[in-house]
Amino acid sequence: MPLQLFDMAKHQKLLKRRNFLISLGALAAIGSGIGWRRLKSYTQALAVDNPMRNFHVANDLPLRRRVTTKGLIYGAYTETDHKVFSQNQTLQSSFVQECGLLLGGFYWGIIRPNATDFDFSQTDYFANFASENGMLFRGHPLIWHDFPPDWLNERFKSAKTTPREIRDIFTTHISTVVKRYAGRIHSWDVVNEVVHLDDGRRDGLRTSPWLKFVGPDYIELAFKTAASADPNALLVYNENYLEYDTREYDAKRDAVLKLLEHLKSKRTPVHALGIQSHLLAHETRFHPNKLRKFLADVANLGLKIMITELDVIDAELPADIKVRDRIVASTYEDYLSVVLDEPAVIAVITWGLSDKYTWLSEAAPRPDGRAVRPLPLDSNFERKLAWNAIARAFDNAPKR
């Protein structure tokens, strides 16, 4: 059922407590750079918090059903391996109820135990689960610079390794994986996080081992290899740090657009841009019109857009769960209300479904040790204000 509205009788008490906590935070922060940073984030979050905000939804239809009339897809990443997933009936039921798409992790460390063998036990399980429950299946990622398995890392570091050897590993991997799931998969993140301006290249590309051994055309090669293996799959270039209004994000958006223009000019079969969207609940530097223009520029290239790894990081928010949940929900609704205005956006995928299983517990833990709450469902698989916010954004989105 939809969550109840904020209890207005507690509003004044909350404001008094808020002022008291700010005073305590200021005292604790003196002499500490980290303390001042946290205090700034804390006060920024409180400044945008609105206890009066209404997150009411008209009905309790699951998210997967809310989006169908809009021509959209909603789904989530499992955030567990297949063994944990298969043993948790509540987790399975939540995915079946809420999600029209299930994302499976095709990380090299999972499916490539060595140079000659593949292990598809986990990805097969999730592909079958999706099919049996009327869900689309999506794969992430085919090519990524991070977390290579030990055997591949040794090849990268060895002076004896030749570009031809790595190129063969590269194309064989893509072709083998994509062919196995041809006809069963909705979309692939073909390449992930390839733009990294800090590396200083004029083309903006990350100085990854793939770039070193295969060359700058490795992105084009990846897409062409995937398209050859499955001509019907939606092929996605997935990237991070595209959402906010800073010089760094501006430069990243420009570099991504240039890369997409370059790929299209070479007739590369790239069909969509994936925008990760790991949002910061305390961040106030969000410019809706600037993001709208970027999305329109991508769409004008003839590309679809997917929100691929959506969650809201609450590490810098106050401890009070009602305040935290309200700010997280506001972040979801404000962001989705902007991106869903763009007709080229066809899917929203959260990076997990329940707070019980989220990478942010380790990647962005709260300094006070309390559990993070970044996802639509809480750790007991109950709907939160974040669920309401996503539902409201879907309800108000224009039809595709």
Active site residues: 193, 309
| Dihedral class, residue 46 (left if φ above 0, else alpha if ψ from -120 to 50, else beta) | alpha
* Radius of gyration of the chain, Cα coordinates, nearest whole angstrom: 22
| Dihedral class, residue 31 (left if φ above 0, else alpha if ψ from -120 to 50, else beta) | left
Q: List the structure tokens of 70.
A: 């809009």
Which residues, in sequence order, are CB contacts of 340 under 8 Å at separation 6+? 72, 348, 393, 394, 396, 397, 398
Residue found by looking up tokens 């998969």 in the block: 185
**Residue 197: CB atoms within 10 Å:** 15
CA distance 21 to 275: 36
Residues paired with residue 348 on neighbouring β-strands, in sequence order: 74, 307
Q: Classify strands 234-239 and 272-275 as parallel, antiparallel or unpaired.
A: parallel
Q: Exposed (0-12), middle (13-18) or buried (19+): which is 339, by Cβ within 10 Å? A: buried
How far from each other are the two terminal CA atoms of the chain, in whole angstroms?
27
CA distance 31 to 162: 53
b/e burial code for range 264-284 (CB count within 10 A of at least 16 → b): eeeebbbbbbbbbbbbbbbbe
CA distance 116 to 291: 44
What string of H, E and C letters represents the secondary structure of 172-206? HHHHHHHHHCCCCCCEEEEEECCECHHHCCCCCEC
